[in-house]
Structure 1
Amino acid sequence: MFSSSLQCSTTDVILPGSKVFDEELSRFIADAEKNSGNFVLMLLDIDNLCYINDLSGRKTGDRIIDTAAAVLAGRKSDVIHVYKLEGNLFALIAENICKQPQVTGLCENMFIEFGRYRISISVGIAVYPEHDKSACALYRDADLALRYVKTNFKGNFCIYKPEMYTDFFTEIHIRKRMCDGLENKEFLLYYQPQFYTQDHRLRGFEALIRRYDTIDGLQNPDSFIPAAERTNLIGRIGSWVMENAVKNLLELQTDYSFTGKISINVSPKQLLSPLFLTQFKCLLRKYKVNPAQLEIEITESSFINDAVRAAAVLNALKKTGVTISIDDFGIGYSSLCNLSTMPVDTIKIDKSFIDTILQQNDMNNEIIKAVVGISQKAGIETIAEGVETTEQLDFLTNVSCSCIQGFIWGKPMPLKDCIMYL
């Protein structure tokens, strides 16, 4: 159906709109039911058009939509029908097509060449009568398939599966429960202490989110953070964590003359949000805390999708006076050679490395030594996560790891229990 690229078009093409699409979809269903026929419904969405609008203006985005419309219009035939729906969404109905190879042929090489942009198109597919027999349900199936492909692998196509329906409504339920949790103040912060290895002084605390569910009791973040990321609630939850951690720091500074650090976890999505820097600076002005006592803790994956943007945000954060920490160092994107290019002050050695110390894993032990040694030369502090035994502590002390965090000296606890360490 598509050539290897959809070239820029300067011709305006008018395709049938949503009203005609609704009428004709119902007609195709009636005809297929009467004649025992079948057809494919495809929803096509131009990927990342909002970013192009931001970079080059809405007129450019509109011309890209026109280009897609022109190319799709050129693929019409007696059995292939194309419609322009809202925004950058198109629909295509292909009669007497239902087998996988035929569907695949319709979706090959689906991208647009437009000036300096190479823009992919994502496609969600539903088949009549295999998936559903009503217009409303068939459209829903194609839309769920489109949602799935845009979430997981943009620029491809996906054929509807029944579990997508179940998963979608499960996600809606989870999102509602988490929204209710925010409104009902079910989220709370626990704090785990960090200590300097050599003299055992308190370095500070890492803020760790928990949720108290009326049914399941106290929940660790592993039980709700992945769902928050999938349902795009991670920004709201992350903002809640950030504000409450800063507020708690002010309490500790004011009431107990606390001079240590509070580490705040920030997700990749939150870090790269256009509003993140503004929100953070507003919190500093609102609570008037010493920014040097705040540490922004990010995961290595923050650098995967947009390393340039991530570095720019981190450099802007450092100008406010805060320090930057890389969490779970060594298990993802980062490597020792990346340290010089990352604007970080601290790296946290992942617990998976610490767990192997007792297993006499020479390779992992050497990695820990190398990380600590190179970090020292670069002026970067190291924190070992998940330290639970004296053997692990002795090893980390001997290799001059800066700090430790783990059950051996302190479990996560409510703010009121942190006072015993001050």
Structure 2
Amino acid sequence: MPNRTEDNFLNRYFEKKERSLESGKYMSFFKIVTFIICLLIYISILVIETRDISETVTGILAQFQVMISVYLVVSAVKNGYIIGVSINIIQFLLVAINVFSRGNVRSAPGMILPICTIITITIIYVFSKRLNQKYEEIKEQKEELVTLYEELAVTESELFNQNKQLLEYNQDMKENEEKLNYLAFFDVLTELPNRKMIINRLDILITLSMEKMMKFAMIFIDLDNFKRINDSMGHHAGDVLLQEVALRLKAAIHPDDMLGRLGGDEFALIIQRQLEEDEILEYLENLRKEILKKFYIENTEITISASFGISVYPRDGDNSTDLLKCSDTAMYKVKEDGKNGVQFFNKEMKDRIFMRMELEKRLHASIENNELYLLYQPQYTSDTKKLRGFETLVRWNSPELGAVSPVTFIPVAEETKFINTMGRWILKTACTKFKELQDKYHFNAVLSVNISAVQIMEPSFVQMIKSVLEETGVRPYNLEIEITESIFISSMDYVIGVLNELKEIGINIALDDFGTGYSSLSYLQLLPIDTLKIDKVFIDSIVGKGIDRHIVGPIISLVHQMDISVVAEGVENSIQLEYLKEHNCDCIQGYIWGKPLNEEDLNKLLYQLTFGEAEDSILRESISEAI
């Protein structure tokens, strides 16, 4: 930007120019006066020469004449030159007339002076003209320089402003880069290192440990039953609790160790010191006890525990992925054993991981290899033994693994999201078979299909149901979707919204395995269900001698008051059957009246009920009178 000295220079330049303009006005006036005086002198010279006045006076006047002519040329340039030449020519002519007409020879030298004066002022005029041209050129160059300087001054000012803006932009970019770097490597909620930074640190430690043959430990920490706190107190309270846990752990860990948050209620601790296993256990036990101390969130006392899983480099893995997976596996072993504990990863767990990986690989190819098949377990009304419908059960017979229990492969399918693909296959296969049999035997019954929490949380779930019904031709009121209580852990409001969409289509909703999960009887008032299925655990208690045998009856009575029908699962003997009949249970499902059937046996049953002689005459009527 222009400095003050440069500004003063421009001010002085323009002030000088203004003074020059003012003085130019006075010079113009002075030139006019001079011209008049010059004319008077020339006239005087002529008068003197014509009257023979003293030569001295004539000489003096002649000198003045020359000086004035020169001055006219110098001061007035072109105009002065014309005037000077004109006056000298006039003088020459007058003197010549005086000499030749009057014969005054003494006046003859007066003719030389005008000629010399003309020559002199011509030389001066030419030189002055060139000088003025040069001056004009210099003046123009000066004006160009001034203009250029002004432009440069403006450009410099703009550059200064642009440079200032660039500096500000650079500062903003630096701050944004720092923010992005923070967001990339730190958790916003707890201000702890995030998963990315934890993995980076593990990779660095692995590189250093390979060179120095050192070991370190990776700890996976998961808060127990954190979901309940979120559901009961809200997500804000859950976030505050996570912040408090982070602060408590950060204050308790060794300065050389690194604590981070992996996501959700999961934390990671990297023990970068050389500790033996008993020292690690003692260290983590102290951290576990710290978490067990009471928290006060929103004026509410909260107690929470945590499960710790430990993997050690290089014994349990030589890369960050394996170390995280092994510590995660050890943590889940703690969960299986009752939570709130500390567990090292071991070989048995490693074998389980390999088995799990093999199971995942085989499961994902099971549909393509036609290894999955369906069974159908019939449901009957308890009082009249009329056929209500069938529950669809999926089974897996792997050539490499043999018959794999649903208890084993369904959780794996859910965790890997393969349940979405499998669920659609189950629904379409069951609906296709049901429609085929319905067209063949002309019966009206209910086809029950189990739905996973993972499936119902899929945004396209309802559309998938609609498309399968449209493709297979099964009517919506013939389809019953079975859900378990665990499905509401994900999002109660969202799940209820999906269920209402299904009911609007005409699909029935059944709550399966009631009594084994998280719900209560009052909880049922919120759910848009048509049928409640009492779990086999409660049905088994009917034959017992404890107070549990009296639970099923009141449940049936209360559920009926909610206008919900009841199906008892796992009915296996007459004692259970008679108890259920006595307490007006709507339908039963169990080995006492029918095991799960394959397609061939299902076809035989329907044929027998339609055309054959069944043991019970009511069975023959059940097809046309089914619920």
TM-score clears 0.5: yes
Post-superposition Cα deviations, 1:309-343, rounded to whole Å, max 9, x if no partner, equal 33222222212211111112223323322222221
Post-superposition Cα deviations, 1:34-87, rounded to whole Å, max 9, x if no partner, equal xxxx43356899xx9xxxxxxxxxxxxxxxxxxx9xxx9xx997x5579999xx
Alpha-carbon distance in structure 2 between the residues aligned to 1:213 and 1:311: 36
Post-superposition Cα deviations, 1:185-226, rounded to whole Å, max 9, x if no partner, equal 111111111112232221111111122344676555345334
- In structure 1, the gaps of 5 or more residues are 1-5, 49-67, 110-120
Kept in 2, the 8 Å contact 1:126–1:138? The answer is no
Please report the TM-score for the alignment, with normalisation by the length of structure 1: 0.72
2:430 counterpart (239, 242, 245)? 245
- In structure 2, the gaps of 5 or more residues are 1-186, 227-245, 292-305, 610-622
1:282 counterpart (464, 467, 491)? 467
SS across alignment from 2:380: strand
2:556 counterpart (372, 375, 383)? 372
Q: Closer, same or farther in 2 for the Cα pair 1:371/1:90, shift >3 Å?
A: closer
One-letter code of the match for 1:94? Q
**Greater C-alpha radius of gyration:** 2
2:326 corresponds to:
144
Post-superposition Cα deviations, 1:79-137, rounded to whole Å, max 9, x if no partner, equal 5579999xx9999562334533445678977xxxxxxxxxxx998753346x35xx825
One-letter code of the match for 2:216? F
1:207 counterpart (392, 395, 400)? 392
Kept in 1, the 8 Å contact 2:373–2:396? The answer is yes
SS across alignment from 1:95: coil
Post-superposition Cα deviations, 1:146-178, rounded to whole Å, max 9, x if no partner, equal 465489869998754333322211101111222
Kept in 1, the 8 Å contact 2:313–2:323? The answer is no
Alpha-carbon distance in structure 2 between the residues aligned to 1:274 and 1:402: 34
1:343 corresponds to:
528
TM-aligned CA deviation for residue 263 of structure 1: 0.4
1:28 corresponds to:
209
Kept in 2, the 8 Å contact 1:383–1:403? The answer is yes
Map residues 41-60 of structure 1 onto 2, 5 A cutoff: 41=218
Structure with the largest fraction of helix: 2
Alpha-carbon distance in structure 2 between the residues aligned to 1:388 and 1:83: 52
SS across alignment from 2:367: helix
2:444 counterpart (250, 259, 277)? 259
Alpha-carbon distance in structure 1 between the residues aligned to 2:458 and 2:400: 33
2:217 counterpart (34, 40, 63)? 40
2:364 corresponds to:
179
The answer to whether residue 308 in structure 2 is matched with residue 308 in structure 1 is no
Post-superposition Cα deviations, 1:329-388, rounded to whole Å, max 9, x if no partner, equal 22332332222222110111222333343x364734432221221222221111122223
1:390 corresponds to:
574
Q: Closer, same or farther in 2 for the Cα pair 1:257/1:388, shift >3 Å?
A: same
The answer to whether residue 95 in structure 2 is matched with residue 95 in structure 1 is no
Identical pairs, percent: 33
Alpha-carbon distance in structure 2 between the residues aligned to 1:262 and 1:17: 49
One-letter code of the match for 1:163? E
Alpha-carbon distance in structure 2 between the residues aligned to 1:90 and 1:367: 44
2:299 corresponds to:
none
Alpha-carbon distance in structure 2 between the residues aligned to 1:397 and 1:9: 57
Alpha-carbon distance in structure 2 between the residues aligned to 1:400 and 1:42: 54
Q: Closer, same or farther in 2 for the Cα pair 1:103/1:216, shift >3 Å?
A: closer
Q: Closer, same or farther in 2 for the Cα pair 1:218/1:20, shift >3 Å?
A: closer
Kept in 2, the 8 Å contact 1:142–1:159? The answer is no
One-letter code of the match for 2:553? K
One-letter code of the match for 2:323? D
Alpha-carbon distance in structure 2 between the residues aligned to 1:269 and 1:244: 20
Kept in 2, the 8 Å contact 1:122–1:157? The answer is yes
SS across alignment from 1:183: coil
1:166 counterpart (326, 345, 351)? 351
Alpha-carbon distance in structure 2 between the residues aligned to 1:244 and 1:415: 11
Post-superposition Cα deviations, 1:239-273, rounded to whole Å, max 9, x if no partner, equal 22122122222223333223110000112232333
1:411 corresponds to:
595
Kept in 1, the 8 Å contact 2:218–2:270? The answer is yes
1:127 corresponds to:
312
Q: Closer, same or farther in 2 for the Cα pair 1:217/1:22, shift >3 Å?
A: closer
1:3 corresponds to:
none
Q: Closer, same or farther in 2 for the Cα pair 1:18/1:325, shift >3 Å?
A: closer
Kept in 2, the 8 Å contact 1:122–1:146? The answer is no
Alpha-carbon distance in structure 1 between the residues aligned to 2:221 and 2:552: 49
Kept in 1, the 8 Å contact 2:500–2:528? The answer is yes
One-letter code of the match for 1:301? S
Alpha-carbon distance in structure 2 between the residues aligned to 1:362 and 1:159: 41
Structure with the largest fraction of strand: 1
Q: How many residues are paired up?
A: 389
1:188 counterpart (350, 368, 373)? 373
TM-aligned CA deviation for residue 293 of structure 1: 0.6
Alpha-carbon distance in structure 1 between the residues aligned to 2:342 and 2:446: 47
Alpha-carbon distance in structure 1 between the residues aligned to 2:353 and 2:521: 40
Post-superposition Cα deviations, 1:270-304, rounded to whole Å, max 9, x if no partner, equal 23333322322221232232101100111222234
Kept in 2, the 8 Å contact 1:175–1:233? The answer is no
Please report the TM-score for the alignment, with normalisation by the length of structure 2: 0.51
Alpha-carbon distance in structure 2 between the residues aligned to 1:302 and 1:152: 23
Alpha-carbon distance in structure 1 between the residues aligned to 2:373 and 2:403: 10
Alpha-carbon distance in structure 2 between the residues aligned to 1:217 and 1:167: 17
Alpha-carbon distance in structure 1 between the residues aligned to 2:205 and 2:560: 69
